[in-house]
Amino acid sequence: MARKGPVTKDTSTVALGLAQIRVGDSATNIGADAPTLLAADSIGALANTRFVGNTDWFKLESGFPLIEDFTTPVREAGALECSFKEITPANIALAYGLDPNSGEFAGMTVHSGEIPLGNRYAPDYVRMEAVYTYPNAINHMYIIFPRAQVSANVEMDLQSEDAAAVPITFESKRADSEMTGGNAMWDDKPLGHIAWD
């Protein structure tokens, strides 16, 4: 008897588990569309990872009663939401919109550093690479934001029997050559891209 319904076509494409989030310098790596960051650039253990591609749509209607004639995008954004479990000075700096790989934050260790409170400004630009390894341990999906900012209301919820998980959102920003500091590599994909191998 033939199976019915949405049967699996290729088990190697089924996603299960979390992506590894790597963060590095945006300006240094702006010309690379392939993954350039290493596992050492990971922000560590995570509670979740979620890609969101927001699009606002314009719908043209005409006639009476109104009937839709046409749909086109009027706004597009890309974001990656995650919650990190490793409460380090570098990760908290990132949550506050600071580049943990630059300036005074570059010298921090996992248990020493200082994050100033009450002095926030526009978030620094960072490169974010989400590296997802499929369960077959062969194939990968890469979500690359060559120029991203982190926006978060920092919440560190400490529990008696569960690890704290601090939620942050990487918002992709334009990286094309018309943007100061951008690169022609991104002219046809100004917010970055999703790639597979």
Query: pLDDT tens digits for 72-81?
Result: 999 999 999 9
Question: Collapsing DSSP states into helix, strand and coil, what is residue 132?
Answer: strand
Between 104 and 173, the higher pLDDT residue: 173
Between 196 and 2, the higher pLDDT residue: 196
Peptide bond into 65 cis (omega under 30): yes
d(CA 47, CA 43): 12
d(CA 26, CA 74): 27
Question: Collapsing DSSP states into helix, strand and coil, what is residue 69?
Answer: strand
Residue 1 confidence (pLDDT) above 80 = no
Kindly give, in sequence order, each residue whose CB lies less than 8 Å from that of residue 156, ignoring residues fewer than 6 positions away: 87, 92, 164, 166
d(CA 113, CA 94): 13
pLDDT value of residue 27: 95
Alpha helices in the chain (DSSP H): 26-29, 89-95
E strand or H helix at 151: strand 140-151
d(CA 174, CA 172): 7
Q: Report residue 128 as tokens.
A: 């974010």
Q: 82 near 129, Cβ under 8 Å?
A: no
| pLDDT cut 90: percent of the chain above it | 84
Amino acid identity of 196?
W
Q: Which domains does the chain have, with CATH numbers?
A: 17-56+67-196 (2.30.110)
pLDDT in tens, 84-115: 999 999 999 999 999 998 888 888 888 998 99
Residue 30 confidence (pLDDT) above 70 = yes
Q: 135 near 142, Cβ under 8 Å?
A: no
d(CA 125, CA 24): 9
d(CA 36, CA 13): 24
